[in-house]
Amino acid sequence: MSTLYQDALRAGQDAVRTTILDCAINLLVTDGPAALTMRRIATDIGSSTKVLYTMFGGKEGLIDALYREGFARLRRVQEQVPRTEDPLTHLTHIGVAYREHALAEPAYYRVMFEQTVPGFRPSPEALAVAETAFDASAAAVAACMEAGIFRPGDAREVSKIFWAASHGAVSLEIAGHFPPEDGGRHYNALMAAVARAFSTRHESANEEQGTRT
């Protein structure tokens, strides 16, 4: 019977890397940070530790790779959201994709945002990957501004405000503070509230109300 490593090796180096990262993230979830050793991972996938050291340089490099992988997956998910004619609808769909992805891969989410591994600090390269993960969201916000739906401003900064709101709601849901039947409703209400804060329609309504009073 072939090992996980041997099966992955036949598919190429990208498959080997994914197999190692999947094993590492599963160990982190099931047994905690202390179980995340090069020897344990090598044993579980049926490879030598030399393979892991060659690919990642050591445990710190492996954790850094998990961090980068989490953001790379998040970026792909958001970039794959189909475009719609209405920019605000597209932005809303990106927000929904963010929540669904976080709930589908909570282990990566914790590595990315919750310092699951004590003492880990992402490398400058990993932080650069994290920064690009929200390009699709920033572009969607910019499209809303260009269409006159949102007030003019710094699209990337506004997208970070959406991200902060999304992150808070998703973190509470993952932690069990929002039951599954309520999580989506709370999330959608929060995203709508943030959108109203930047909406030109909301601004016009406030001006009209001020004129009446």
58-80 pLDDT, tens digit per residue, is 999 999 999 999 999 999 999 99
Q: What share of the chain has pLDDT > 70, as a percent?
A: 94
What is the DSSP secondary structure assignment for residue 150, as one 8-state letter? B
End-to-end CA distance of the chain: 79
* Average pLDDT, integer, range 88-117: 93
Predicted confidence at residue 118, as pLDDT, reads 86
Q: How far apart are CA 64 and CA 112, in angstroms?
A: 10
pLDDT tier at 202, thresholds 50, 70, 90: low
pLDDT at 210 over 80: no
CA angle 197, 127, 120 (to 5 degrees): 115
Is the four-CA dihedral 90, 70, 102, 15 of positive or negative sign? positive
Predicted confidence at residue 31, as pLDDT, reads 92
User: Residues 29-49: pLDDT tens digits?
Assistant: 889 999 999 999 999 999 999
Backbone Cα Rg of the chain: 21
Average per-residue pLDDT in the chain?
91
Predicted confidence at residue 209, as pLDDT, reads 44
pLDDT at 93 over 80: yes
* Average pLDDT, integer, range 94-115: 92
pLDDT tier at 211, thresholds 50, 70, 90: very low
User: Residues 133-187: pLDDT tens digits?
Assistant: 999 999 999 999 999 999 999 999 999 999 999 999 999 999 999 988 899 999 9
